A and B are shown apart, each in its own frame.
Chain A
Amino acid sequence: MPEGSPARPVVEVEHVTRTFGPVTALDDVSLAVEPGEAVGVLGPNGAGKSTLLSLLAGLRRPDAGTVRVAGGDPRVARNRARIGVTPQATGLPQTLKVGEVVDFVAGHHRDALPRDEVLGRFDLAEFSRRQCGALSGGQQRRLCVALAFVGNPEVVLLDEPTTGLDVPARMGLWDSIRSFVHDGGTLLLTSHYLEEVAALAGRVVVVDHGRILAEGSVDEIRGRTATRRVRFSAGEVPDEILTGADVLTQAPRWELLVADSDRLVTELVRRGVEFRDLEVTGASLEEAFLALTGPGAAA
């Protein structure tokens, strides 16, 4: 590669639209992921995350636009050798043993990782001879994530990798995933937990209703979502006070998400709005994120 010329993105999504009957799952979405980058796609259920992932995995084709992964169309089987995907936890073949499932996936590749290395990395070595159906939920989850790495892929696509795991299990899995990125792998994961995206990804893409709402580093997104929740009872509130706030409920009991709660309260007092039962709470990251994707947030 000539010096200075940027490497081609590993994931290239260009103006992709995908509908399912009357539902528009993705609406003119463009996204590029550079080699070695870890990107988190954040959004509530039904935002279009899974559709995006299914296009990247070659399971679905876009109605319009192009999808390229690792330099090729993921609909072509041969190109999928460079992509690692995680099955759903409930989807493992119950009667096959852990080692057999790993060998089976490895059999699709010419340069798969050795079985023991995969099992060791994901803390599954002792379960190699156990049937998948006899694993605990957490162990199944680990195996599913491990399967994405078996083929020594260039890019790994993870769908909600640690949903439903307890904290130590989650931390362990995050460490395993991070080591892949550390070694130069490209990662794209979806989640509805900002915490998970923050732990694994350097860049965040916020999607809802099939569109990209915000994009930036984890800190930038965090900054944009540094939000306070303010509740109070009052009648009419002048519009100027509400500028920039996300109004969740209106009179008689107002509930707002705002960036600066001090300013809001000061304004209420200054303009003589009669209010009572004032509550100010820090919005959780989840709530803040909902504020970003909720109704009116895109406006």
Chain B
Amino acid sequence: MSAAGPARLTWLHTRYQVLEALRVPVVIVSTAALPALVFLVFVVPQAQGWQPVEATAATAQLAVFSAMSVALFTQGAGIAEDRALPWDTHLRTLPVGAVPRFLARVLMCMFFTVLGVVPLVILAAVLTAASVTVSQFLLGIAALLLAGVPLLAIGLSVGFSMPAKAALAVAQVLLLPLAFTGGLFLPPEGMPDWLAAISTWTPTRAGRELVISAATGLELPSSVLPVLAGWTVVFGAVAVWAIRRDQGRRFR
């Protein structure tokens, strides 16, 4: 008749969220297969004769794309879908507070972000000149998770503020513009000036630069951290507002 502790509850919910998501093939396809496919079609054919740094950068930018699709779909659309399910209401009757469940969502997001990178890294290592040291690899993963924070905030804002169908549509609408303006598909060097100006201010571009810098040792543009922080603050606030509004509607 006594409840388990918060750490155990966070771990429990993370485990089951991951397990539930892994049983849905669409989740695996969208998180792991899609970025790998884009890499195969757009990057590998052009990668002949690339320097290791260029190939590593191309891998890094698709890793950010993978993190974004996790944040928008697994989190954003997934949360909106879960909220509509009676099971989500039932979870509120179990002896678990809001914090372990929220942390579990974040951890689950991190798990799928890293999972999405696995096929990319294998393809890059086998088919391109990309190469990193162990410390660069670990730094790159850490940078990716950091770059994922504003994306997660956007995902949470979408997931908690609108119904499932709208959330899915908004996620789809956001995905490609954020990817293109962020230079996740085509490198920003080829952008026209006006687009390059916009690009600097996007969370995806900032994320891309952070991960590339960590994985290759290239210099980090000074705009990156303020841009990431700015998006995190703005959408963090939207997410908090949306979560409160949702909880108030359903559980007050």
**A79–B3 CA distance with the chains assembled, in angstroms:** 8
- Judged by a CB distance under 8 angstroms, whether A95 is at the interface is yes
Interface positions of B from 130 to 149, Cβ below 8 Å from A: none
- A109, B16: Cβ atoms closer than 8 Å: no
- B4-12, B181-189, B212-220 - interface stretch: B4-12
Interface positions of A from 81 to 99, Cβ below 8 Å from B: 81-83, 85, 87-88, 90-93, 95-96
- Judged by a CB distance under 8 angstroms, whether A192 is at the interface is no
- B19, A81: Cβ atoms closer than 8 Å: no
- A80, B86: Cβ atoms closer than 8 Å: no
- Of B1, B20, B90, B92, which is within 8 A of A109 by CB? B1
- A39-47, A57-65, A116-124 - interface stretch: A57-65
- A82, B9: Cβ atoms closer than 8 Å: no
Contact code string B90-105 (vs A, CB < 8 Å = 1, else 0)? 1011111100000000
Interface positions of B from 55 to 100, Cβ below 8 Å from A: 85-87, 89-90, 92-97
Give min CB distance, B222 to chain A, whole Å: 44
- B3, A108: Cβ atoms closer than 8 Å: yes
Best-surrounded residue of A61, A107, A131, A151 (most CB of chain B within 10 A): A107
List A contacts of B4 (CB < 8 A): 107-110
List A contacts of B20 (CB < 8 A): 93, 95-96
Give min CB distance, A167 to chain B, whole Å: 26
Best-surrounded residue of A57, A85, A87, A154 (most CB of chain B within 10 A): A87
- B86, A90: Cβ atoms closer than 8 Å: yes
**A154–B95 CA distance with the chains assembled, in angstroms:** 13
List A contacts of B3 (CB < 8 A): 77-78, 80-81, 108-110
Closest to A150 in B: B94
- Of B8, B90, B94, B252, which is within 8 A of A60 by CB? B252
Contact A151:B1 (CB < 8 A) given known A58-B93, A108-B95? yes
List B contacts of A110 (CB < 8 A): 2-4
- Judged by a CB distance under 8 angstroms, whether B24 is at the interface is yes
- Judged by a CB distance under 8 angstroms, whether A152 is at the interface is yes
How many residue pairs, one in A and one in B, have C-beta atoms under 8 Å apart? 88
- B87, A91: Cβ atoms closer than 8 Å: yes
- B97, A77: Cβ atoms closer than 8 Å: yes
**A63–B20 CA distance with the chains assembled, in angstroms:** 37
**A95–B4 CA distance with the chains assembled, in angstroms:** 25
List A contacts of B8 (CB < 8 A): 107
- Judged by a CB distance under 8 angstroms, whether A153 is at the interface is yes
Contact code string B16-46 (vs A, CB < 8 Å = 1, else 0)? 1001100110000000000000000000000
Interface positions of A from 46 to 78, Cβ below 8 Å from B: 57-61, 70, 77-78
**A79–B95 CA distance with the chains assembled, in angstroms:** 7
**A91–B12 CA distance with the chains assembled, in angstroms:** 19
- Judged by a CB distance under 8 angstroms, whether B194 is at the interface is no
Closest to B252 in A: A61
Closest to B97 in A: A77
Give min CB distance, A1 to chain B, whole Å: 17
- B252, A91: Cβ atoms closer than 8 Å: no
**A79–B20 CA distance with the chains assembled, in angstroms:** 27
- B87, A108: Cβ atoms closer than 8 Å: no
- B87, A87: Cβ atoms closer than 8 Å: yes
Interface positions of A from 112 to 158, Cβ below 8 Å from B: 131, 151-154
- B93, A80: Cβ atoms closer than 8 Å: yes
- Of B24, B89, B96, which is within 8 A of A59 by CB? B89
Closest to B24 in A: A95
Q: Which 5 A-B pairs have the closest CB atoms?
A: A91-B86, A87-B90, A95-B23, A81-B3, A81-B95
22 sample A-B contacts, Cβ–Cβ < 8 Å, listed by A number: A58-B92, A59-B89, A59-B92, A70-B1, A77-B3, A78-B3, A80-B93, A80-B94, A80-B95, A81-B2, A85-B94, A88-B89, A95-B23, A96-B16, A96-B19, A100-B16, A107-B9, A108-B9, A108-B96, A109-B1, A109-B4, A151-B1
Q: A58-B92, A85-B90, A104-B16 are in contact. List 5 more A-B contacts (CB 8 A).
A: A77-B97, A91-B86, A95-B20, A107-B9, A109-B4
Where the two chains meet, the residues of A that have a C-beta atom closer than 8 Å to any C-beta of B are 57-61, 70, 77-83, 85, 87-88, 90-93, 95-96, 100, 104-105, 107-111, 131, 151-154
